[in-house]
């Protein structure tokens, strides 16, 4: 006699969100860029505090890039919203 596998324990039956993505994937999609910009900013601050020359160049880049991203999205035309 062959043992049956329980279908509720397979990876294919993991809970999904309304869009069909698994919760971890949905969370990763939501938080990936904010986390990356946060890590970039933290590395820029640390580099500005503890290093010279190339560290200063890195800190300018690492602290300026998030500002550019915020300016880009802040100055874009708003999406066409229906009222």
pLDDT in tens, 1-37: 555 555 555 555 555 656 666 777 888 888 999 999 9
The predicted structure's pLDDT at residue 24: 75
Which one, of 38, 14, 37, 36, lies nearest residue 26 by Cα? 14
Tens digits of residue pLDDT in 31-57: 999 999 999 999 999 999 999 999 999
Q: First-to-last CA distance in the chain?
A: 64
Mean pLDDT of 68-82: 85
Burial of 44 from C-beta contacts in 10 A (0-12 / 13-18 / 19+): buried
pTM: 0.62
Total length of the chain? 83
């Amino acid at each position: 006699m062959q043992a049956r596998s329980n279908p509720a324990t397979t990876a294919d039956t993991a809970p999904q969100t309304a869009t069909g993505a698994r919760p971890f994937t949905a969370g990763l999609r939501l938080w990936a860029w904010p986390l990356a910009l946060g890590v970039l900013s933290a590395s820029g601050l640390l580099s500005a505090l503890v290093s010279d020359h190339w560290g200063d160049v890195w800190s300018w880049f690492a602290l300026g890039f998030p500002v550019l991203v915020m300016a880009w999205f802040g100055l874009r035309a708003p999406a066409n919203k229906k009222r």
